[in-house]
Amino acid sequence: MIEVEHLTKKYGDLVALKDLSFKVEEGKIWGLLGPNKAGKTTTMRILTGYLPANEGKASVAGYDVFEQPNEVKKIIGYLPEALPLYPEMTVLSFLNFVSEIKQIPASKKKEAVERSIEVSGLETERGRLIKHISRGFKQRVGIAQALIHDPQVLILDEPTIGLDPKQIIEIRQLIKSFKGERTILISTHILAEVTQTCDGVVIINDGLLMASGSLEALTASFREKEGVVVRLKKSGESTLSLLREIQGVDRVSRENDELKIEWSKGKDLRDEIARLVVEKGLGLVEMRPLAMDIEDLYLKVVSGGVKQ
Amino acid sequence: MKNIWAICKKEVNTYFTSPIAYVVIAVFLVLSGFFFYNAILWFNSQAMQMAQNPYYYQQLNINQMVFSPLFHNTSIILLLMIPLLTMRLFSEEKKRQTDELLYTSPISINQIILGKYFASLFVLLVMLLLLGVLILFTFAFGNPELAPLLNAFLGLLLMGGAFIAAGIFFSSLTENQIVSAILTFGALLLFYILNWTSYSARGIWKDVLNYLSIFQHFDGMTQGILDTTDVVYYLSFIFFSLFLTHSVIQSRRWR
């Protein structure tokens, strides 16, 4: 659905994107991650036709972003990081204006505006001037304008920035509700948001692609050790010694009331651990695979300079 | 066309839901009214003095004695007012980053420019129509010629249209509205007085400076002369300014 191939963007001497390539499949939600000035906003601006690229190709739903910009703009809903709102307009008049410049036919305009107000939860604010509504509602107006023409693709640059926790949860739920219906690319600094809403990620740093793929595939490929986390009724030093004696176990460590058992990639020692726990009557409460969370992955890729 | 209309409608609403249009129109009318009132008083005193001599009395011409100076003064007021009307058009979009909404919508840069241009032209038209209402009163008490008046109004509209186009161009250059207004005023004033230097210029330069002067083309129109050269000059000025605006916006995206 979204395809970026060898994209390079320069601002004078500054190279913002270097040979960036990635793909987002139809109906999936992908996160675009990276530190500040990594090139996330530039990538989004290129995809939405706001900026041209110096080299490379980009296409959305088969339309070339540079050759058929108007076709692309018709099927993309874009929420920029800085909300593009006119404070002197009311929410309703702003959305009416957006519906006109997004070329919604006159017969469907009213319905489109009402639907975007309903979906974004703006019923109570429709008649108020944008300058008088709260930051959270302004963000919702931004989302409403992105959704107004019922786009196949949504590009959201930091959609939950500046919102309170309740509003963040609501916006996340709204985004999640589009899964399968729309292809979404979200840029965010909140890594928990990625875990909760995204199917995959593109991680960039200094304009370079560092990693790209589904969350499962990426965490699996970046994990150096396999392992489990177990919670036992008896988890004293003697238990740790017993677990360390299992052949193939590299490391056993305690984290709060849980024990982390690690071994080399390619092995599976879960049977042996379970047998030992039962035989020795250690009282198994919980056993779960050792997962690499998004924070670990992000830090590994960005700070460690690992490139995939 | 629908896209131009959408932008135009939004800009007109912005003008009239904020004090901008009201203040500009009010100041324009107060100043024009002041000049008009003084011109009528002076014409009246001249008429009373010449009433004793039938020959001179017949030479009195309200178009030349009242309207021609009034329109010259009005053109100066427009020179001061129009930069205030146009200064926000692109500067504000850039500063608020609302331009991102416009340029990521399926409308062309030309449509955005024309929408904003026609919105300002509409405000100018309102100003000129209200000035026209003021002038209509002279028909109740005198016998002015209509054709030269209409010609002068066309001149004001074309000249104002050229001022707006220049204002839009300078607004596209900067995020700062004050800078935009000052640049517009400075450039327009320069074009207005360009013919002053033509007296000392020689050869082709004299003709070039005279041709480029905004005032030179307007002067004839206030006298009731409709010359296609003047109309072409203003239309070219408008086209060239809007073309430059398009180039500035387009080139900024590549920086």
Cβ-Cβ contacts under 8 Å for A21 (sequence gap 6 or more): A4, A5, A6, A7, A56, A209
The answer on A179 and A104 residing in a single domain is yes
Q: What is the pLDDT of residue B255?
A: 62
Query: Do residues A157 and A279 both lie within one domain?
Result: no
The total of structural domains in chain A comes to 2
Express each pLDDT in A73-97 by its tens digit.
999 999 998 999 999 999 999 999 9
Quick one: three-class SS letters along chain B?
CHHHHHHHHHHHHHHHHCHHHHHHHHHHHHHHHHHHHHHHHHHHHHHHHHCCCHHHHHHCCHHHHHHHHHHHHHHHHHHHHHHHHHCCCCHHHHHHCCHHHHHCCCCCHHHHHHHHHHHHHHHHHHHHHHHHHHHHHHHHHCCCCHHHHHHHHHHHHHHHHHHHHHHHHHHHHCCCHHHHHHHHHHHHHHHHCHHHHHHCCCHHHHHHHHHHCHHHHHHHHHCCCCCHHHHHHHHHHHHHHHHHHHHHHHHHHHC
**Does A303 reside within a domain?**
no
A232 and A216 in a single domain? The answer is no
Cβ-based burial of A80 (10 A; exposed 0-12, middle 13-18, buried ≥19): buried
Q: Is A129 in CB contact (< 8 Å) with chain B?
A: no
* pLDDT at site A13: 85
pLDDT band at A122 (very low <50, low <70, confident <90, very high): confident
User: Does B7 touch chain A if contact means CB atoms closer than 8 Å?
Assistant: yes
- Report how far residue A180's alpha carbon sits from residue B97's, in angstroms, rounded to the nearest whole number: 31
Residue A31 three-state SS: strand
Question: Would you call B110 an interface residue with chain A, using a CB distance cutoff of 8 Å?
Answer: no
pLDDT tops 60 at residue A308:
no
Residue B224 has pLDDT above 60, yes or no: yes
B56 vs B112, residue with greater confidence = B112
A98 and B101 within 8 Å at the Cβ level: the answer is yes
**Residue in B closest to A11 by C-alpha:** B255
CB B172 within 8 A of CB B95: no
Q: Is A88 touching B (CB cutoff 8 A)?
A: yes
Which of these ranges, A136-150, A282-296, B113-127, has the smallest mean pLDDT? A282-296
Q: Is A145 in CB contact (< 8 Å) with chain B? A: yes
Residues A170 and A278 in one domain: no
With b for 16 or more beta-carbon neighbours within 10 A and e for fewer, the A210-225 pattern comes to bbbbebeebbeebbee
Residue A68 lies in a domain: yes
Distances (CA, A) of B165 to A116, B118, B236: 36, 10, 11
Handedness of CA B226, B228, B232, B235 (dihedral sign): positive
> What is the arithmetic mean of pLDDT over B203-219?
82
Residue pair A109/A136 in contact (Cβ under 8 Å)? The answer is no
Separation of alpha carbons A218 and A292, rounded Å: 9
Contact (CB<8Å) B107/A101 = yes
Sole residue written with tokens 């036919």: A105
Tell me what the mean pLDDT of segment A127-131 comes to.
93
Residue B67 has pLDDT above 60, yes or no: yes
- What percentage of chain A reaches a pLDDT higher than 90? 35
Residue B254 pLDDT:
66
Nearest Cα of chain A lies from the Cα of B111 at a distance, in angstroms, of 10
B36-66: b or e for each residue (b if 16 or more CB lie within 10 Å)? beebbeebeeeeeeeeeeeeeeeeeebbbbb
Report the DSSP beta bridge partners of residue A214. Answer: A200
How far apart, in whole angstroms, are the C-alpha atoms of residue A269 and residue A280?
A: 17
Which of A12-16, A62-66, B4-8 has the highest average model confidence (pLDDT)? Answer: B4-8
Of A194, A215, A207, A262, the closest CA to residue A56 belongs to A207
Nearest to A40 by CA among A55, A30, A26: A30
Among A74, A141, A130, smallest CA distance to B3 is for: A74
Percent of chain A with pLDDT over 70: 97
- For residue B17, the chain A residues in CB contact (below 8 A) are 88-89
Distance separating alpha carbons of residues B116 and A183, to the nearest angstrom:
34
State the nearest Cα–Cα gap between B212 and chain A, in angstroms: 36
Domain contains A296: no
Same domain, A120 and A268: no
Of A50, A74, A145, the CB nearest to B103: A50
Question: Which one-letter amino acid corresponds to residue A218?
Answer: L
Name the band, by pLDDT with cuts 50, 70 and 90, for residue B119.
Answer: very high
Question: Could you identify the residue written with the tokens 């992908």?
Answer: A30
Do the domain assignments include residue A302?
A: no
Same-domain check for residues A213 and A284:
no
On whether both A256 and A135 belong to a single domain, the answer is no
pLDDT at B162 over 90: yes
Q: Are residues A197 and A273 in the same domain?
A: no
Contact call for B100 and A100, based on CB within 8 A: no
Kindly state the average pLDDT of the residues B227-250. 93
Mean of the pLDDT values across residues B108-132? Answer: 95
Interface check for B20 against chain A (CB to CB < 8 A): the answer is no
Over range A112-128, report the average pLDDT. Answer: 90
pLDDT tier, B135 (very low <50, low <70, confident <90, very high otherwise): confident
Of A185, A220, A255, the one marking the end of a domain is: A220
Residue A166 falls inside a structural domain: yes
Task: Using the predicted structure, report yes or no on whether residue B54 has a pLDDT greater than 90.
Answer: no
DSSP code of A129? B
The mean pLDDT of A31-50, rounded to a whole number, is 90
Q: Which helix (H) or strand (E) holds A208?
A: strand A208-214
Higher pLDDT, A243 or A265: A243
Radius of gyration of chain A (CA): 24
Q: CATH number for the domain including A104?
A: 3.40.50.300
In this prediction the pTM is: 0.84
pLDDT for residue B123 is more than 90 = yes
Q: CA-based angle A232:A237:A242, to the nearest 5?
A: 75
What is the rounded CA–CA span in Å between residue B35 and residue B66?
Answer: 9
Tokens found for residue A180 = 């399968």
Look up residue B129 and give its two tokens: 């129509």
Same domain, A259 and A215: no
Could you tell me if B252 lies within 8 Å of chain A, comparing CB atoms?
A: no
| A62 plus A171 within the same structural domain | yes
Q: What was the pLDDT predicted at A184?
A: 93
- Please give the share of chain B, as a percent, with pLDDT higher than 90: 57
pLDDT at residue A93, rounded to an integer: 94
How much is the ipTM here?
0.85
User: Can you state the angle between helices A135-147 and A106-119, rounded to 10 degrees?
Assistant: 140
In the 8-state DSSP scheme, what is residue A132?
A: G
Task: Give the model's confidence band at A304: pLDDT under 50 very low, under 70 low, under 90 confident, else very high.
Answer: low
DSSP A247-308: TTEEEEEEETTEEEEEEETT---HHHHHHHHHHTT--EEEEEE-PPPHHHHHHHHHTS----
Q: What confidence tens digit (pLDDT) does each residue in A132-186 have?
A: 998 888 999 999 999 999 899 999 998 888 778 888 888 888 888 888 889 999 9
Rounded CA gap, A277 and A259, in Å?
Answer: 12
Can you give the CATH number for the domain in which A283 is found?
3.30.70.980
Please indicate whether, in this complex, the C-beta atoms of B253 and A50 are within 8 angstroms of each other: yes
For residue B160, what pLDDT band results from cuts at 50, 70 and 90? very high
- The verdict on A103 touching B (C-beta cutoff 8 Å) is yes
Task: Give CA angle at A88 (A83, A93), nearest 5°.
Answer: 85
CB B72, CB B221: distance < 8 Å? no
* Residue of chain A whose alpha carbon sits nearest to that of B94: A84
- Would you say residue B196 has pLDDT above 70? yes
Q: Which of A196-200, A232-236, B77-81 has the highest mean pLDDT?
A: B77-81
Q: Would you place residue A198 in the very low, low, confident or very high pLDDT band (cuts 50, 70, 90)?
A: confident
A255 and A199 fall within a common domain: no
CB contact under 8 A, A50 and B104: yes
- Specify whether the backbone of A247 is left (phi greater than 0), alpha (psi in -120 to 50) or beta: beta
pLDDT classification of A208: cutoffs 50, 70, 90: confident
Distance of residue A28 Cα from the nearest chain B Cα, in angstroms: 22
| Residue A101 CB partners (closer than 8 Å, separation 6+) | B3, B6, B7, B101, B102, B105, B106, B107
Instruction: Dig out the tokens for B138 from the structure.
Output: 């002279």
The answer to whether residue A291 scores a pLDDT higher than 80 is no
- Mean of pLDDT over chain B: 89
Q: Are A283 and A192 found together in one domain?
A: no
Sign of CA dihedral A97, A98, A102, A104: negative
pLDDT of B233 higher than 70: yes
Structural domain boundaries, residue A141:
2-220
pLDDT of residue A1: 84
Specify the pLDDT at position A191: 79
* Choice among B16-25, B77-86, B133-142 with the minimum mean pLDDT: B133-142
Contact B80, B61 (CB under 8 A): no
- Partner-chain residue, chosen from B6, B97, B255, that has the shortest CB–CB distance to A80: B97
Nearest Cα residue in chain B from A44:
B104
CB contact under 8 A, A50 and B100: yes
How many CB atoms are closer than 10 A to CB B239?
12
Chain B residues near residue A153 by CB distance under 8 angstroms: none
At A161, which amino acid appears?
Answer: I
In a domain, A308, yes or no: no
Bridge-based pairing state of the strands A249-255 and A183-187: unpaired
In a domain, A28, yes or no: yes
Range list of β-strands (E), A83-158 = 153-157
Q: Is the pLDDT of residue A294 over 80?
A: no
Instruction: In whole angstroms, give the CA distance from residue B54 to residue B51.
Output: 6
